[in-house]
Amino acid sequence: MADFKQLVFSGVQPTGNLHLGNYLGAIVKFVELQKSHDCIYCVVDLHAITVPQDPRQLTSSIREVTAAFIACGIDPKAHIIFNQSQVPEHAELAWVFNCVARLGWLNRMTQFKEKAGKDRENASVGLYAYPALMAADILVYRATHVPVGEDQKQHLELSRDIAQKFNNDFSEWIARTGFGDAFFPLPEPLIQGPATRVMSLRDGTKKMSKSDPSDYSRINLTDDADAIAKKVRKAKTDPEPLPSEEVGLKPRPEADNLVGIYAALSGSSKSAVLRDFGGAQFSTFKSALVDLSVTRLGPIGAEMKKLTGDPVYIDSVLADGSERAGQIARKTMDAVKDILGFIRH
């Protein structure tokens, strides 16, 4: 396979209530990766409309995700932050990928099944085709690495299948156009650390999610110290003290979740946390978790509030990022059109 320049791409949906799962599963990694890689981070507004959105709320959610990226430490000058709808090549390449991906592949996607629920006939076509757009988001930059939470693993595998099929189907034309034996890289998911799947604080078997009707199920990035303390103290647990070994967490999803959150927030591992807290009661552990959460998240929430109060600045970051992202995406799309045999004027 041809050698591709390493490039990181990932996205977050502007669907409200950014939470600790989004932060630990994705955004923390976005911040780390900018030290070693060129990075493109996208507010995926086209993905958001696969389910109904209130336009006014969507505008403010787009600004809120942008503010979160910056408040968490992403540098919009050294890297790229932009909103997906402003680079039309995402939708253009997604159409090509709709024609590359097979129905059977999409039929296997568990996120569609979960989100469409029982009323599948009434789900939008966009929700079904979501993974092809996600593949286009990544591959329109020919990105090689994608930091995501565990829930996106299946979609990343589909992106690799689409890239591989495109490379195979058009191999002759890829070579003739001067791109060697592969036009698209097979993007690698980066799913690492103790909190790749943060669970609901009310139910350790359910993913922490923006759309959970109970606000007590998640810690939002904009929660103040009081709200964080209340939610952690009310988090579901069991009556046993914490185990001393990681294996003791296996049958205890709520304990496992809280220990994973503590480990991720403190930059350590679950076994290191259990070395300190093994044998402790939850009341003691929860107090320490409240302190740690407030220390880590407090400044982010405060900075997000400041930034969202300046929409002119936020919009200028998105405009600048969209311009720079667009330049890369246009080059890819021109090459794709050549490979497909379209006539360009």
Nearer to ligand AQP, 189 or 336 (CB): 189
Give the strand order in the sheet containing 188-190.
Answer: 80-83, 38-43, 7-12, 145-147, 188-190
Check if 113 is active-site.
Answer: no
State whether residue 293 is helix, strand or coil.
helix
In the bound complex, what is the minimum distance in angstroms from residue 135's beta carbon to ligand AQP?
Answer: 15
Contact 45, 29 (CB under 8 A): no
CA distance 125 to 38: 33
In the bound complex, what is the minimum distance in angstroms from residue 273's beta carbon to ligand AQP?
Answer: 18
Nearer to ligand AQP, 51 or 280 (CB): 51
In the bound complex, what is the minimum distance in angstroms from residue 211's beta carbon to ligand AQP?
Answer: 3
User: Residues 115, 153, 165, 331: which is the catalytic one?
Assistant: 115
The answer for residues whose C-beta is within 8 angstroms of residue 76's C-beta and 6 or more apart is 69, 70, 317, 320, 321
Q: Which helix (H) or strand (E) holds 174?
A: helix 171-176
Check if 231 is active-site.
Answer: no
Nearer to ligand AQP, 37 or 197 (CB): 197
The neighbour count for residue 297, using CB atoms within 10 Å, is 23
Q: How far is CA 145 from CA 8, 190, 193, 309, in A?
A: 5, 7, 16, 33
In the bound complex, what is the minimum distance in angstroms from residue 29's beta carbon to ligand AQP?
Answer: 9
User: Residues 207, 231, 270, 286: which is the catalytic one?
Assistant: 207
- Which residues here bind ligand AQP, judged by CB under 6 A? 12-13, 15, 21-22, 25-26, 148-149, 151-152, 196-198, 207-211
Nearer to ligand AQP, 43 or 339 (CB): 43
- Closest residue to ligand AQP using C-beta atoms: 25
Q: Where are the beta strands (DSSP E) in the chain?
A: 7-12, 38-43, 80-83, 145-147, 188-190
Contact 19, 220 (CB under 8 A): yes
Nearer to ligand AQP, 221 or 329 (CB): 221
User: Residues 153, 165, 210, 236: which is the catalytic one?
Assistant: 210
End-to-end CA distance of the chain: 31
CA distance 39 to 236: 37
Tokens of 296: 């880590």
In the bound complex, what is the minimum distance in angstroms from residue 150's beta carbon to ligand AQP?
Answer: 6
Contact 52, 287 (CB under 8 A): no
In the bound complex, what is the minimum distance in angstroms from residue 319's beta carbon to ligand AQP?
Answer: 22
Check if 207 is active-site.
Answer: yes
Nearer to ligand AQP, 46 or 93 (CB): 46
Question: Which residues are known to be catalytic?
Answer: 115, 207, 210
